[in-house]
Copies of this chain bind each other. A is one copy, B any other.
Amino acid sequence: MNLISSFSIQSWERFYRANFINSLTGFKSLSLIGTVNAEGQTNLGVFSSIVHIGSDPALVGYINRPTKAAPHTLANIQATGVYTINHIHPAFLERAHQSSAKYPDQVSEFEEVGLTPEFIENSRAPFVKESRVKYALSLKEIIPITLNNTFLVIGEIQHVKLEDDILMRDGFLSLEKAASVCSNGTDAYYSTQLIDRYEYARPGIAARKLVT
């Protein structure tokens, strides 16, 4: 096996290092975050740093890069207090990837890449119509991470929209049926295959496959 020190990592060319470090943390949820500014201009960005914070209340976080590098999503969330997170599927993966390009301020990524904004009653932020699993959040807290000028943005789930046939009897969502994509590194996208679900683990009892 290869043993690599932090001194080596620091000496690497920046794209090589970014590829490496972004892969090292493992597979990630890949999602489109939909927002709107105070004037109603829609915005869409790709994020792979969604993290579960808690189920009760239902809190979801994501890491927003320094505001200079990724200004619109966070500014819109601060202005309106709402946003949507939308799963990505192979049918529109290229369009989702393209929405990571740096478009000018007055441009909506929805139009540029060919995805459809979708609105529901009592919710101002645009969903991605093409997505099969999506949810709207209200902003709860923006926590600055001073180590590298990023932000942990935490929202509470307000509305969920999903295809009926992926919701199992115990609340579990069969994301492989929905064909939600996961990612690795900065540019690699994956489909998934269920290995197994396991019963809640208890000391002294061997792990058992869950029969659903």
Contact = CB atoms under 8 A, between A and B. Distances in A.
Interface string A115-129: 000001000000000
Chain A: number of interface residues, binned into ranges = 35 or more
Nearest to A21: B55
A33 to B, nearest CB: 12
A6 interface: yes
Interface string A154-195: 101111111110011011110110001110110111111111
Contact of A59 (B1, B148, B207): B148
Contacts of A164: 1-2
**Chain A binding surface, main DSSP class:** mixed
Contacts of A195: 90, 93, 181, 189-191
A20 to B, nearest CB: 4
A194 B193 CA distance: 11
A87 B26 contact: yes
Nearest to A90: B195
A84 to B, nearest CB: 12
Contacts of A98: 201, 206-207
A76 interface: no
Which 9 A-B residue pairings sit nearest by Cβ, starting from the closest?
Answer: A26-B29, A19-B171, A23-B173, A16-B171, A27-B182, A20-B171, A101-B201, A21-B55, A190-B192
9 contacts: A21-B52, A21-B55, A25-B51, A25-B85, A27-B27, A185-B197, A187-B210, A189-B198, A190-B195
